[in-house]
Structure 1
């Protein structure tokens, strides 16, 4: 169905969205739904696009204010809420990042909280610390993105580059990586069960890159983002885009690395 729809457009490249409706209202009654294929013209970004040379500015939105029923699903309900939030953002803001509050990890004073940054409204988020550790949320906290999974695969799944910091085992798909254990969110929203009953190693080291990079599957904190070496977002229809400003404050020196 997808190839037929694409052929009918005569587009050289296109963005394709598949929508499955389990049921739909017809004449006031619930009828069996079906698959909808949306095809729109899409032009790939050029290498000299200002997005890459200048970077983008992002804003923040507490996830509690959105009440997502299932973060791992791109539902019609979520797309509608996302469109409303996008309509309210500043014209200079490229993306809106979702945040939540948690009690601090480790040996911090009891009762202290920190702000974690999960993902963008339509993008996955990567934070590169000064020690070359990559932080990104996984598991049921976020919608696992195709581009994000490809990036992780290319860096950490090369047979010559993967060096788990714990006993050797293959790196699971980003969609199956549960976040590291931590106190429950301060909000009362119900948590979703993990998609993987056996927690994988929490961190990996890639010798494929120079200098070597390490990966930890957990949301970066807002403090870590502000102090990061690099912050990037990506999605299926765009490559890695550098984030150089968060709510008016520069990330690092304010320039893409």
Structure 2
């Protein structure tokens, strides 16, 4: 069966000519959330268009974007929002389809593009709660993406190209050595390595915080002697970078502990 493409246009429509359709799937709104969204739109502009259908009188009935419409209603003191971009459906059937599916099948950006967009907004001084509100995601989601924003550009390029997975990209955050990261990237791209294997390559000389020496010495004592610790941002794990120093501290503490035990009357420890 041949499917004809749906044609739609984006038009600038006076806000006074808009109203919400009963087809709009969102019917319950938190007033505080609408106020926060309005503040966000005032600061960032309208990132996502509304969708609607012209009625017989020439006005536009909004079939998706009810929250944005209500937020825009609070911004009519600002001439920037006197007219609003609206995607106009060509017919009633299309409008009904939009109304039922828009909230569930909105196209999601590629993680690499999302990471870069969040990073750009953060660089402009946009707070994480505002970014989350603008994109309809949780603050925790934004923080996780921003942790990936510091990766070397070729790593994000490889993610976008499908040569590594998102979990693979997250594994690269354990390294602060860009040259090493790029060398490992060339080795793993397109080869199906796991994130665990990538971390092993990046931290082959480091000691995990679960190592008995690290547990015995303790991070505070290790860092007090100049030891450097790298934290895995996506796992409850860290790496002690100077194994020689850790071993030295471990041996010294073990000898001191043995001396204490022997002083208590033990012949050997």
The TM-score by the shorter chain falls in which range?
under 0.3
Higher-Rg structure is: 2
Q: TM-score, normalised by structure 1?
A: 0.21
Write 1 or 2 for the structure with the bigger share of strand. 1
Query: Which structure has the higher relative contact order (CA within 8 Å, separation 6+)?
Result: 1
Q: TM-score, normalised by structure 2?
A: 0.21
Write 1 or 2 for the structure with the bigger share of helix. 2
